[in-house]
Chains A and B, each alone.
Chain A
Amino acid sequence: DIQMTQSPSSLSASVGDRVTVTCRASQTISTFLNWYQQRPGRAPKLLIYAASNLQSGVPSRFSGSGSGTDFTLTISSLQPEDFATYYCQQSYSAPWTFGQGTKVEIK
Chain B
Amino acid sequence: QKEVEQNSGPLSVPEGAIASLNCTYSDRVSQSFFWYRQYSGKSPELIMSIYSNGDKEDGRFTAQLNKASQYVSLLIRDSQPSDSATYLCAVGGMDSSYKLIFGSGTRLLVRP
Q: Are A and B subunits of one complex?
A: no
